Structure 1
């Protein structure tokens, strides 16, 4: 039995979510609401003590870290459609791209996302409310990031992250001008993991990601969005998230 705890089809949560749909595996989606800080609730920290999503529960074994979950699915379900090549050289190429997105591309996009999205949410809280939320975050670095978002990231930090985003976009565009998919001619976890960060950039970063400046990157984003598994993932995730009940309430009811 598979249960995936995630924020839904975006950023790191999208990686294993799309992988599950692409592999055709049955699973229970449990969408955690970041606007309600559900990932810092005690019930969730019993699942992942780090208070982070995504987290995959497979028959009581909890696997964390988005790319690790994707690789785990390849190992645990070898008979499902493959998202990892069989050739060792191509596997290495795939892992170069998944390592790069985790260590470089994701982080610069994340900082801008925190400035634009988390900052206003953090500033909407009173000092008392904010401190109450922060003390429940188990990772010191995440506490510091919340404080930076609330204060506003320094301009020099944002400028440097935008520079890294441009470097990232150039790298993706160059590679996709040479090949249909990132790790070669086959669609793999390299594409899923980078798509999780790049999808939507043609709207949020339209000055640098557009059909004129990055035609191959935009075509790749559209190609993945047109895949049946991706279409199904977005459609089902939207309806399932809308129908869900807050976990905190469910936990209290279960204890009553």
Structure 2
């Protein structure tokens, strides 16, 4: 029995979600709403004490960390027709270079901009007392700091540096995809799944950086993954909460 707890088909939650659909595995989807801090409620922290998604429950055994979950699925279900990890050790190493890079570099710069644009307005719409109470239930100190930074607004120099890293990331992806159809070579692998989780939607959110004129290979790669039957099924059957500010009552 598999149950995936996630925020839906976006960012880190998308990685194992898409991997599960690609491999054709039966699983229960449990979508949590980050806008109401559902992942910090006591019931979920019994599943993952760190209060983070995604988290995979496999027959009562919990696996956390998005890329680790993807690799776990390859190990736990070796007989699946779809393989997302190459059989060749060298090709697997190339795949892991890309999954390591997205986790340690690409994800973070895109995430900071996302927090500024989407989480910030939500955080500022929460009354002070309620916001402070919510912070008490977040188990990771760094996440508390991130919420406070989003509420206050990230400093201009931080945002400029993160945008520089976004451009570096996009240039690296474009250069690689100009050489090969997929990031780790000729085969679609977890390298593509994990980077797509962050890159998908950048044509809208970062249109001045990701567009058909400047990054044709990256745009084509994003479109090819979106066109895959597994991706289409995932988006059709999944939901993603929108982090919108709360409405204030008229005086």
Structure-to-structure mapping, 1:205-216, within 5 angstroms: 205-216=206-217
Does residue 115 (structure 1) correspond to residue 116 (structure 2)? The answer is: yes
Equivalences for 1:103-142 in 2 at 5 Å? 103-142=104-143
User: Which residue of structure 2 aligns with residue 251 of structure 1?
Assistant: none
CA–CA separation in structure 2 for the residues paired with 1:74 and 1:10:
21
* 1:59 to partner: Cα distance: 0.2
Task: Answer 1 or 2: higher relative contact order, Cα 8 Å, separation at least 6.
Answer: 2
**Structure 2: stretches of 5+ with no match in the other structure:** 242-251
The match for 2:54 is 54
What do the CA deviations read for 1:56-78 (whole angstroms, capped 9, x no partner)? 00000000000000000000000
Aligned-pair CA distance for 1:203: 0.4
Secondary structure in structure 1 of the residue aligned to 2:101: helix
Whether 1:38 and 2:38 are equivalent positions in the alignment is: yes
Normalising by structure 2, what TM-score? 0.95
Larger fraction in helix: 1
Match of 1:12 in 2: 12
Distance (whole Å) between structure 2 residues aligned to residue 178 and residue 11 of structure 1: 25
Equivalence for 1:182: 183
- 1:162: how far off? 0.1
SS of alignment partner, residue 99 of structure 1: helix
Provide, for residues 108-128 of structure 1, a one-character-per-residue CA deviation record: whole Å limited to 9, x for no partner. 000000000110000001110
Residues in 2 aligned to 1:8 and 1:163: alpha-carbon distance in whole angstroms: 28
DSSP-derived class of the 1:63 partner: strand
The two structures, once aligned, show a CA RMSD in angstroms of 0.8
**What SS does the corresponding residue of 2:238 show, helix, strand or coil?**
helix
Tell me the alpha carbon deviations over residues 86-129 of structure 1, each in whole angstroms, 9 at most, x when there is no partner: 00000000000000000000000000000001100000011101
SS at structure 1 position matched to 2:51: coil
CA–CA distance in 1 between the matches of 2:23 and 2:207? 32
Distance 1:99 1:215 in 2: 24
Runs of 4+ displaced beyond 3 Å: none
Name the residue aligned to 1:66.
Answer: 66
Gaps of 5+ in 1: 243-256
Q: For residues 181 and 24 of structure 1, what CA distance do their matches in structure 2 show?
A: 21
Q: Secondary structure at the match of 1:57?
A: strand
CA–CA separation in structure 1 for the residues paired with 2:133 and 2:117: 22
TM-fit CA distance, 1:36: 1.2
